[in-house]
């Protein structure tokens, strides 16, 4: 039986819950951030940096966040995922950015789910009962701090009835981190208790991760090298919850504090600032969009894959479900941008999948391409001698028969 330990968390009204049959239709606008006096629809971009693949930018502690901040100042709506926006104790509020869990982002890209922007979610917290008492108290203090100092709507917490027993490893075929939890049913029971008891519509999960035995791998990560050994199984955990409950979820690992090191890479430093990684998770989940299964109810007011204008990814990370879905879209196919400087342990380049992409050297160039695309300008016209003479198209088909034009 799930054990619920109540605390005096204030229960706040939800502005936008996950849709149900009795809910009235939302506004007919598909725009999530309307600009005054604009005669164009919002420009929407998706930024993906897959987790646990050692991305040179975005493979550490929120080090792709500066890219998201910059890109959000150029586009009207930016859709991205926790690996880009989470920086442990650090985060940055951006009103036109949608925080979408990776599994949900894949289904969104495939056109199966829509995204419904909200003003506020009711956030529940799940704590692994395998977390030691002192470390559990630290996480609860962070939750109270987020409620008191930031006003975030964290309403209640639950402790799992069985230790989750997180296991992590590196996939020998791909080189990316992955893993599992040995007791997934315990996690799902805990989430179900929060949803039923407190009607939460977003969930933060804290699992007790094993302390690293491989000191070398940990040191490499702290020096800005190698891969994030925690990230892969974190994605497994959040995918499990989102798939079962169709609500936003993000994970923060519970770890014993590491000994201080005087030579720490700035890209990894955000994880050294405190006892937990929860602040960024609470901030992201507090107004993450709700997920709407397409065609089950009204799609009015939600954002669909067909609204996406551009997608930006690392040069060798095009093998994921979301990237392939966007690239193969037959309706309003977005501009696909591959960033050469952001290399990973993968080798899934656009050409291997027959994907037509604009290759750019770095995120500076990528944002310039997106700015031109948003302005309705051919990005190639900003380069030297890239625009050739206009070519004539013949009206005669290859079989020699002339085409009759309408009178």
Please state the rounded mean pLDDT for residues 61-76. Answer: 97
- Percentage of the chain surpassing pLDDT 70? 85
With a cut of 60, say whether residue 188 has pLDDT above it: yes
List CB contacts of 172: < 8 A, sequence separation 6 or more: none
d(CA 151, CA 234): 26
With a cut of 80, say whether residue 20 has pLDDT above it: no
pLDDT-based confidence at residue 35 (cuts at 50, 70, 90): low
With a cut of 80, say whether residue 96 has pLDDT above it: yes
Contact by Cβ (8 Å): 307, 334: no
Structural domain includes residue 32: no
Structural domain includes residue 108: yes
Reported as a single tens digit per residue, the pLDDT across 319-334 is 999 999 999 998 789 9
Reported as a single tens digit per residue, the pLDDT across 9-18 is 433 333 443 3
* Separation of CA 304 from chain center: 16
For the chain, how many structural domains are there in total?
A: 1
Structural domain includes residue 315: no
Q: Which of 22-26, 203-207, 258-262, 363-367 has the lowest mean pLDDT?
A: 22-26
Structural domain includes residue 89: yes
Cβ atoms within 10 Å of 126's Cβ, excluding its own? 28
Per the structure, the complete domain to which residue 243 belongs is given by 44-293
pLDDT-based confidence at residue 1 (cuts at 50, 70, 90): very low
Please state the rounded mean pLDDT for residues 339-360. Answer: 97
Structural domain includes residue 72: yes
Q: Which of 51-65, 188-202, 297-311 has the lowest mean pLDDT?
A: 297-311
Give the pLDDT of residue 220. 79
Structural domain includes residue 258: yes
With a cut of 90, say whether residue 389 has pLDDT above it: no
Structural domain includes residue 286: yes
Structural domain includes residue 337: no
**Sheet with 249-254, edge to edge strand ranges:** 154-159, 123-127, 202-208, 249-254
Average pLDDT, the chain: 87
Cβ atoms within 10 Å of 90's Cβ, excluding its own? 18
């Amino acid at each position: 039986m799930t054990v619920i330990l109540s605390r005096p968390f204030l229960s706040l009204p939800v502005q936008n819950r996950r849709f149900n049959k009795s809910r009235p239709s939302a506004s007919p606008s598909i725009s999530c951030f309307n600009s005054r006096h604009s005669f164009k629809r919002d420009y929407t971009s998706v930024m993906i940096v897959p987790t646990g693949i050692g991305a040179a930018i975005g493979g550490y502690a929120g080090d792709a966040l500066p890219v998201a901040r910059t890109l959000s100042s150029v586009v009207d709506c930016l859709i991205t995922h926790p690996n880009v926006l989470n920086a442990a104790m650090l985060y940055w509020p951006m009103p036109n950015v949608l925080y979408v869990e990776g599994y949900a982002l894949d289904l969104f890209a495939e056109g199966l789910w829509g995204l419904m922007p909200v003003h506020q979610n009711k956030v529940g917290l799940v704590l692994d009962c395998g977390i030691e008492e002192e470390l559990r108290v630290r996480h609860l203090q962070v939750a109270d701090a987020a409620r008191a100092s930031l006003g975030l709507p964290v309403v209640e917490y639950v402790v799992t009835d069985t230790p989750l027993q997180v296991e992590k490893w590196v996939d020998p075929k791909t080189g990316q981190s992955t893993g599992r939890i040995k007791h997934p049913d315990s996690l799902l029971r805990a989430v179900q208790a929060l949803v039923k008891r407190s009607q939460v519509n977003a969930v933060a999960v804290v699992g007790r991760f094993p302390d690293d035995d491989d000191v070398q791998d940990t040191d490499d990560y702290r020096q800005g090298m190698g891969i994030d050994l925690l990230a892969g199984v974190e994605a497994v955990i959040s995918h499990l919850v989102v798939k079962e409950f169709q609500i936003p979820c993000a994970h923060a690992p519970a770890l014993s504090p590491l000994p201080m090191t005087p030579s720490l890479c700035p890209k990894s430093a955000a994880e050294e600032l405190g006892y937990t990684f929860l602040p960024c998770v609470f901030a992201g989940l507090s107004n993450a969009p709700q997920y709407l299964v397409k065609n089950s109810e009204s799609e009015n007011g939600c954002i669909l894959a067909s609204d996406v204008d551009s997608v930006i990814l690392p040069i060798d990370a095009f093998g994921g479900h979301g990237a392939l879905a966007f690239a193969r879209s037959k309706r309003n196919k977005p501009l696909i941008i591959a960033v050469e400087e952001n290399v990973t342990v993968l080798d899934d380049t656009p050409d291997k999948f027959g994907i037509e992409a604009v290759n750019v050297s770095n995120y500076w160039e990528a944002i310039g391409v997106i700015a031109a695309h948003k302005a309705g300008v051919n990005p190639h016209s900003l380069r030297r001698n890239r625009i050739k003479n206009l070519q004539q198209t013949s009206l005669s088909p290859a079989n020699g028969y002339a085409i009759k034009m309408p009178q």
